Amino acid sequence: MELSATGRVILGLIATQPRSGYDIKAMVDKSTRFFWAASYGQIYPELKRLAERGLIEGSDESQGERPRTVYSITPAGRDALSAWIGSDEQVHELRDEALLKLFFSGHASRDELVSVLETKREEHLDALEKFSEIEPMAAESEDFGPLMVLRYGKAYSEFGAEWCERALKELNERKDAG
């Protein structure tokens, strides 16, 4: 059974515990968004598709006039999640607008390139700070997976910040840039 990328995120998060669409988005923003983001515009239609396919089921937990549906994974959903995890499929797609800007650096001034690199470095440093904040929670979990992924994210962000430093140094040493 083919799952969309967003469906995989949703099933994985719901397999951990029942969640509403809002809860899923909040958890994505604290965890998987560092390597696999999902927007409300992706989450809610996918929740509907997963429910129609019998992979999740929703229960009404509205509070007052505010509607709220909390979704749980079904046995078929656990099977689909397990089949995907066990498959050889591992899409790797890097989308980094800063790298795209740097790729086209021949059309930019030195100041613009410095700004791109400094901003990118700060993003990596900010991610490192966030990872340090959530690491204790990941370390306490019985599931080792989130901690492994967090450590990958830290190493990636450390590399990224250092790479930006080297690129800034090289840019400053070049006479022909900008």
Q: How many degrees, rounded to 5, is the angle at CA 44 between CA 38 and CA 46?
A: 75
Within-domain flag for 134: yes
Q: Is residue 100 over pLDDT 70?
A: yes
Q: Is residue 2 over pLDDT 80?
A: yes
Same domain, 81 and 103: no
Domains: count for the chain: 2
Tell me what pLDDT residue 109 has: 92
Sign of CA dihedral 8, 93, 38, 164: positive
Q: How far apart are CA 13 and CA 30, in angstroms?
A: 12
CATH of the domain at 33: 1.10.10.10
Same domain, 101 and 82: no
Q: What is the DSSP letter of 109?
A: -
Mean pLDDT of 65-73: 93
pLDDT digits (tens, 9 = 90+) for 115-164: 999 999 999 999 999 999 999 988 888 888 999 999 999 999 999 999 99
Same domain, 113 and 150: yes
Q: Is residue 65 over pLDDT 90?
A: no
Same domain, 16 and 82: yes
Same domain, 34 and 104: no
Within-domain flag for 92: no
Strand 56-60 to 19-20 pairing: unpaired
Which domain, by its residues, includes 141? 97-173
pTM of the predicted model, to two decimals? 0.78
